[in-house]
Structure 1
Amino acid sequence: MSVKPPGSRWYNAVWRWHFYAGILCAPFVLWLAATGSIYAWRPQIEAWLDRPYDTLSPAATRASPEAIVGAAVAAVPGSRLHKYELPPSPASAVRVLVGAPGGDRRVYVDPYRLVVLKVVREDSRPMQLVSHLHGELLAGAWGSYLVEIAACWAVVMILTGLYLWWPRGRAGLAGVLYPRLTGGRRLFWRDLHAVAGIWVSLLALFVISTGLPWAKAWGSYFAEVRTATGTLDGPVDWTIGGRKTADDPMLGDHADHMGMTTPHHGFRAGELDRIVAAATALRFAPPVLVSPPGAEPRGWTVASDAADRPLRAQTVVDGATGRILARKDFGERHWIDRAVGYGIATHEGQLFGIGNQLLITATALMLMTLSISGAILWWRRRPSGRLGAPLPLSRPRYGAPLIGTILVLAVLMPLFGLSLLVVLAAETGLARAPGVARWLGLRGAPT
């Protein structure tokens, strides 16, 4: 479509869709930016929260891993071992994850005195709650759908915002790349909104695209497409709609050896001690999780659960001999899984250290600035008794570029396509009610 000056039918139509997308997205953008920036600092926050359990006084003797697990299981009646986490230092408590009625528990055990220091529900840990608030609004699958719809419309908001931002006959970079500070409040907020939008647009599109694999609908859709195209390389190692498809995504035929969704069977005396020694020798990136056998009685799984996903690796180890039965590193996965892994690690702020965390935090702050400045602009310019949407001019012609763009977005983001149909149907229906139509800005302008 051709670039028209402000006031044209195209400009006005794009402005209307930008307004509607912003009204829908702004509350979600603020929420996701706040929770996402908190989660980006998860390593530091969890280290601070767990500091009482990582400053123990080592003693002359240390209990065996099996004795430590025995103390953890005894602290949660009716539980069974799910994961044993290698302690990060000699002064650290051992974290043992046990399965129990009502949900998994994380048990902190002093390995020198066999004292249970803390028992907490795994899904009640602060950063787990932040994760669920961020991805599901604590509303399960329906919350994931809402977040995904908001993310899809945020893409529309960004693309339409770029069209509106595009300088048309303006001299200089003021109001384009930096805000003007001497033109009054309205001009300042307009420039702040436009400039924040252009600086954050590419980063925001990246953050949205790397977050979609977690979403319930898009993640399932992505898996179906990969199955149909023969590119699925076993279970993925990220959650979809708040649930993991498996805990063992890398090992192919050995994928039933472990997993929190797979019941673990009992193990023979001496096996855990042997496996922990083997796991320590592997020197995987922490945290390193040891999981007992599933249906197959021999294979224990040792897995790195590093937040920097390219550092992850997994092995299956024979409990009787300590021999490695299978191993798969991150670099051996399908290129799509590697690409998603790099994207997720960046999205979480964990790919390149504190610089990545600062980048994600800056992106979140700019998105919050974008939303707040947009809300202020709307509040200041809204007419009394109306929502304040730009009034429609005569309908522009929908050419092939626009239709093609909408179809591409609908294929890439199916919930966008479905929600767009709902919005168009609602707009058509509401336009027939004069009072509602005027309040929404569907009527009241010359055609």
Structure 2
Amino acid sequence: MSNAPGHSARQERWYRTIWRWHFYAGLFTVPFILWLSLTGGLYLFRPQIEALLDQPYTELVRETEALPPARLAAAAVSAVPGSVLHRYILPQQSGDARQIVVGTGASETRVYIHPKTAAVLKTIGEEDRLMRIVFRLHGELMAGRWGSMLVELAASWAILMILTGLFLWWPRTERKNGKNGRGGRLAGVFYPRLGGGRRRVWRDLHAVTGLWVSLFALILIFSGLPWAKNWGDYLREVRALTGTAAAQQDWSAGSAADAHARAALDENVRLHMAGHEGHGGVQESANAPAASLPALNRVVLSAKALSMPGPVELSPPTSFAGIWTVRGISANRPQRATAEIDGRTGAVIGREGFEDRHWIDRVVGYGIAAHEGALFGIANQLLALAVLLGLVTLSLSSLVLWWRRRPAGRLGAPPPQGALGRSWPLAAAIVLLALIVPLFGISLALVILAEKVWLARVPRFAAYLGLRG
């Protein structure tokens, strides 16, 4: 590629480097963007999908016909031999089937109980529920830590793709006439030009879509990073060192950590039950006969009085103090709250609202709620869906553009369009990203090292990638 008028060899090498990184990022991330957009688009509408799946189990009886919660919990535990109560979920409507989660170790089962007859209507493993499968497909590719690592790498390289894409798109000034590199017009910058042939249409579709979705896409990507196993661990370590760690994290730390938490809950509930038996006290455990479960009835009444936005889960005591935990797990996380209730008296002995949490937890909570489409209702869902469709358009158009204009035997970076000007903001943003997301920093260092040490020394690769001017 020869130097364009007014461009130094150094500028052109820098331009080719940016374009090459843009290509690397696109080549790696396009399959992930398509997959994450599909699974993320489904997960955005989790409330509607789960409501549709649970519709046969709603409005079964009148409120006055419902049996006491203790009777219903006992029926759920009996449906899964060897299990204990993990969570009792307050119904959205008083006549709905009671959804009660029981567990054996790390394995949990959701049992749907008829509120009037205590008959078992449905049982399903918690991790076998449709939206839980979609959640794991989206965040871990059903591959645990390694899948989470791939998703984190794809997310961070997608950020690089967006940053370099914006740099390449940015309207520049031609030295020869002082005009905008695209004729000083808004066409092709803020909206696509529909004339001038298919190549121009594809080019404008790619560039204009990239402009409009970039900011929202960056928010979407960054708000999903706390779920990533490696970056999540990194965040927790930083918070531990700075004394800002939360007592209990309000978002998933990965399937392995979630399984460990379920197993710990199961073990502690069983220890609490054994402690009651060893002390000769009244058994108030979830696998005891219904007559010995008065605590749950009291706790349900107190939990309802708290008027937390649903769903609301009640977890049994894990210590001899007999304290039940109440958690509001609304998808709109700023509405979430937790409380502790004394099972012996039904008294609320502590409550924490979203506003009481550390500012880091609040920021992450807002981000996750927006990421899941729950922060401002259906408008949030539709906006996030539009961003996902924009990312799909961006990815597919990039493949079409590259395939159409690629020269034989070369990567095919286009010549610089106008003066490159200062690029230090881009370099600073990439360095900052490498520091914020260490996994990306390591991968970027490996790519640069591979270029310098190996690829540049192999003439075929060096010529294809444009490593030699």
TM over 0.5: yes
Query: Whose RCO is larger (CA < 8 A, sep 6+)?
Result: 2
**378, 395, 411: which is aligned to 1:388?**
411
Does structure 1 residue 173 correspond to structure 2 residue 186?
yes
Match of 2:307 in 1: 283
Letter in 1 for 2:362: R
Gaps in structure 2 of 5+ consecutive residues: 1-5, 173-179, 274-282, 285-291
**451, 456, 459: which is aligned to 1:431?**
456
Counterparts of 2:400 and 2:341, CA distance in 1: 59
Counterparts of 1:230 and 1:388, CA distance in 2: 48
Contact 1:310 1:338 in 2 (8 A): yes
Deviation at 1:28, TM superposition (A): 0.8
Counterparts of 1:403 and 1:435, CA distance in 2: 28
Counterparts of 1:88 and 1:46, CA distance in 2: 13
Match of 1:312 in 2: 336
1:239-388 equivalence runs, <5 A:
239-242=252-255, 259=265, 262-264=268-270, 265-266=272-273, 268=284, 269=292, 270-384=294-408, 386=409, 388=411
Match of 1:410 in 2: 434
Counterparts of 2:430 and 2:331, CA distance in 1: 35
Contact 2:330 2:336 in 1 (8 A): yes
Counterparts of 1:211 and 1:305, CA distance in 2: 18
Q: Which moved more, 1:9-18 or 1:224-233?
A: 9-18
Letter in 1 for 2:431: L
Contact 2:162 2:214 in 1 (8 A): yes
Contact 1:289 1:305 in 2 (8 A): yes
Letter in 1 for 2:191: Y
Contact 1:84 1:289 in 2 (8 A): yes
Change in CA separation of 1:273 and 1:246 when aligned onto 2, cut-off 3 Å? farther
Which is richer in helix?
Answer: 2
Change in CA separation of 1:5 and 1:51 when aligned onto 2, cut-off 3 Å? farther
Deviation at 1:13, TM superposition (A): 2.2
**67, 77, 90: which is aligned to 1:86?**
90
Change in CA separation of 1:40 and 1:247 when aligned onto 2, cut-off 3 Å? farther
Counterparts of 1:261 and 1:196, CA distance in 2: 52
Q: Which moved more, 1:258-267 or 1:202-211?
A: 258-267
Counterparts of 1:281 and 1:247, CA distance in 2: 32
Gaps in structure 1 of 5+ consecutive residues: 249-255
Contact 2:456 2:462 in 1 (8 A): yes
Contact 1:85 1:290 in 2 (8 A): yes
Counterparts of 1:281 and 1:107, CA distance in 2: 25
Match of 1:251 in 2: none
Contact 1:298 1:318 in 2 (8 A): yes
Contact 1:247 1:260 in 2 (8 A): no
- Name the SS for the 2:457 alignment partner: coil
Change in CA separation of 1:90 and 1:315 when aligned onto 2, cut-off 3 Å? same
Residue-pair matches, total: 430
Contact 2:269 2:316 in 1 (8 A): no
Contact 1:78 1:101 in 2 (8 A): no
- Name the SS for the 1:301 alignment partner: strand
Q: Percent identity?
A: 50
Deviation at 1:381, TM superposition (A): 2.1
Q: Deviations over 1:73-101 (max 9, x none)?
A: 11111111000001111231100001125
Change in CA separation of 1:398 and 1:195 when aligned onto 2, cut-off 3 Å? closer
Counterparts of 2:55 and 2:460, CA distance in 1: 60
- Name the SS for the 1:302 alignment partner: strand
Larger Rg: 2
Change in CA separation of 1:38 and 1:260 when aligned onto 2, cut-off 3 Å? farther
Q: Deviations over 1:264-319 (max 9, x none)?
A: 53352211111111111111110010100013441001110110111111111111
Counterparts of 1:188 and 1:411, CA distance in 2: 37
Deviation at 1:407, TM superposition (A): 2.9
